[in-house]
Structure 1
Amino acid sequence: MAVAPVYQDMLGSDFNRLHPNVAWRYSVDSTSGVAQIASGIYESVYTNTALSSMFFKHYSNRHALPAKSSRMVPFEQAQYCYVDELGRECLAVLREFQYTTGPKNVNSLLVSGHDGLVDYFGDGPELLYPIEPSVTKAGELLLESGPLRWLGRGPKLGMRGPFATQMKYIEGWDERHQRFRCDATVNNPVLGEILHFRGWFTAVDQACTLQQIPDEAWPVNLIERER
């Protein structure tokens, strides 16, 4: 089976409309033998206080959500590509928020599934988002999700109506400052914005074999469910 980077596979010819630097970011696949290491500043990290602090504590401990609101948070991000046991091309994203109270991680695994892209968040993983990628007129990568699915115990239902939770992520190139910009938000029709993290970063490729990919890049459980 031919291998292609997860976004290039889904975007097809639209991938060529990405800004060249954004296209470079996402041209790596499991055969490339590199990881991509980024560092920068999240100028704003926000978690909605209308939700229980225990909710954020639980999911931040499971590396699925940011721990708390803050400003000017340094972060590092590493991206690794591999093929999982189900033969799916995967892009693992390991983020470390360097809060003054100590580092916290938000990890996700983007999978080129049988019916499209799916993003798993957390160590378990804990959460599932179906992802629809597109390219903006400015050449930015835009990711919009379907309704959040919970992967914990209990009914495996999409959260709909007043419980619907959807994610939007946009990444582009800042010509003036010669760096990338990113903006991730999660919204609910009742509570409005549940969380966001937005800021800037620079990135470099780094040689990386399959054996050098860290354990954290693989979820604890192999999840076949994609919707």
Structure 2
Amino acid sequence: MSRGSIFRRVMGAEFGRLHPELRRRFSVGLESGEACTGTGVMDRIWHGRRVVRPFLALGATRNILVPRQGRDVPFVIENVPYADSFGRETVSFVRTFHLPDGPRRFDAQMVTAPEGDRILDYLGTHQHLASDLHLTAGAGGELVIRSGEHRFREGPVDVRVPAVIGGDAEVRESFDEDTGRFLIRVRVVNRYVGPLFGYEGSFTAEYADVSRRGVRPGLRPVREEARA
């Protein structure tokens, strides 16, 4: 029996409630042999109050979040499956925002959590941050992703990120049949400070054979983290 992508395995029967185009997009994996590249425009990239800017700037040094605002920003997302150095099936979520002062990246690599009930999202170039992601299908066939616990790992340090400095993320992705485009909205909020960062826009998707295309240099993180 086919096990399917990491997203199908985590969502189970609920995966079938997604719009067919979303089912295909989130079927990328080693079994399907496909990668997906989304190309489009973010209508708006925003960040919260002045107090959050140092936090965003620090994260940007490791390709986590984007400390800039903008409108009508060209955007690319690369979802490429590969086996990481620990043998886990991994799917990249590398987003590049082409802002006027140069490109900014927001990197994530996703694997299935050991329990199989959620996605484990490693953030940044060195995977110092790991977040639990919970996936559900919305009433209209959209994909809804909400973050859970966040953990920080560096050498012997392995700690839960407290809520006072963490962020709760919600991602909503749908497909517009009239335009043939995927619609994306991302919002990250701190429960004490308020909104931290987000973006919204649309893109089209192209699929490619992973065995031919491979994983381009620079897509994988500099350091990979084994701890879940």
Q: Same fold (TM over 0.5)?
A: yes
Q: 1:6-85 alignment to 2 at 5 Å?
A: 6-85=6-85
The amino acid of 1:174's aligned partner reads D
Letter in 2 for 1:84: D
Partners of 1:88 and 1:72 in 2: CA distance: 36
- Structure 1 residue 96: Cα displacement: 0.9
Q: How many residue pairs end up in the alignment?
A: 226
* CA distance in structure 2 between the partners assigned to 1:174 and 1:205 by the alignment: 18
Residue type of the alignment partner of 2:28: V
Unaligned stretches of 5+ in structure 2?
A: none
Match of residue 206 from structure 1: 208
TM-score (norm 2): 0.90
**Inter-CA distance 147–166: structure 2 relative to 1 (3 Å threshold):** farther
Please give the per-residue CA displacement for 1:2-31, whole angstroms capped at 9, x wherever unaligned. 753111000111111100011010112113
TM-score by length of 1: 0.90
Task: Specify every segment of 5 or more residues in structure 1 that has no aligned partner in the other structure, as ranges.
Answer: none
Whether the aligned pair in 2 keeps the contact of 1:147 and 1:160 (CA below 8 Å) is: no
2:98 alignment partner in structure 1 = 98
Alpha carbon RMSD of aligned pairs, Å? 2.1
**Structure 2 partner of 1:197:** 199
Counterpart of 2:222 (choices 215, 220, 223) is: 220
**How much identity, in percent, do the aligned residues show?**
25
What's the CA shift for 1:93? 1.5
- Contact kept? 2:187, 2:197, Cα under 8 Å: yes
- Report SS of the residue matched to 1:147: strand
Q: Residues 223 and 3 from structure 1, CA distance in 2 versus in 1: closer, same or farther, beyond 3 angstroms? A: farther
- 2:133 alignment partner, one of 131, 145, 152: 131
